[in-house]
Amino acid sequence: MTRILVLQGPNLDLLGTRQPALYGTETLDEIHASLAQHAERLGVELDFFQSNHEGALVDRLHRRDFDAVIVNAAAYTHTSVALRDAFLAVAVPFVEVHLTDPWQREPFRHVNFLHDIAIRTVVGQGSRGYHAALETLAARFREGDA
């Protein structure tokens, strides 16, 4: 069975109460529960990991116990060469998700260290973006071209 790691960066543990006008009222647990149901329907196995620490996210990638990754690196998207290098090192396909559209926000959010190495970047769809990412990866593995 295809194994997909769902990697969540800093402050996403506060979803539900964090700037709800921007990020919505769903908690991270609720988003993950809904994704887990979707994954079951698609016959894909998910593992979830959230950290506020850059190195912990890098360490999780180094375990390489997955076939693909869905990542919302949050603020590290805009700063982390370490995370970019980790993705290049493990060399698995990944889809980048952002609840908001960072390109429509402050200029410092227009810098993105993952976008050009991701197979897809989904922005501005709220939690539906994670489901779109899951569909993309599931289809890719179904077609056997991963």
Beta strands in 3-144 (DSSP E): 3-8, 45-50, 68-72, 94-98, 120-123
Per CB under 6 A, contacts with ligand DQA among 108-127 are 109
Coil vs helix vs strand at 101: coil
Of 27, 34, 52, 100, which one interacts with ligand DQA (CB under 6 A)? 100
Q: How far apart are CA 144 and CA 146, in angstroms?
A: 6
Beta strands in 27-107 (DSSP E): 45-50, 68-72, 94-98
Convert residues 1-40 into a mask of x (bound to ligand DQA by CB under 6 A) and - (unbound): ----------x-----------------------------
Residue 115: active-site member: no
Residue 98: active-site member: yes
Q: How far apart are CA 92 and CA 4, in angstroms?
A: 10
Catalytic residue, candidates 23, 76, 130, 131: 23
Of 32, 60, 84, 98, which one interacts with ligand DQA (CB under 6 A)? 98
Q: Does 99 bind ligand DQA (CB under 6 A)?
A: yes
DSSP state of 136: H
Q: Give the binding site for ligand DQA (CB under 6 A).
A: 11, 72, 74-75, 77, 98-100, 102, 109
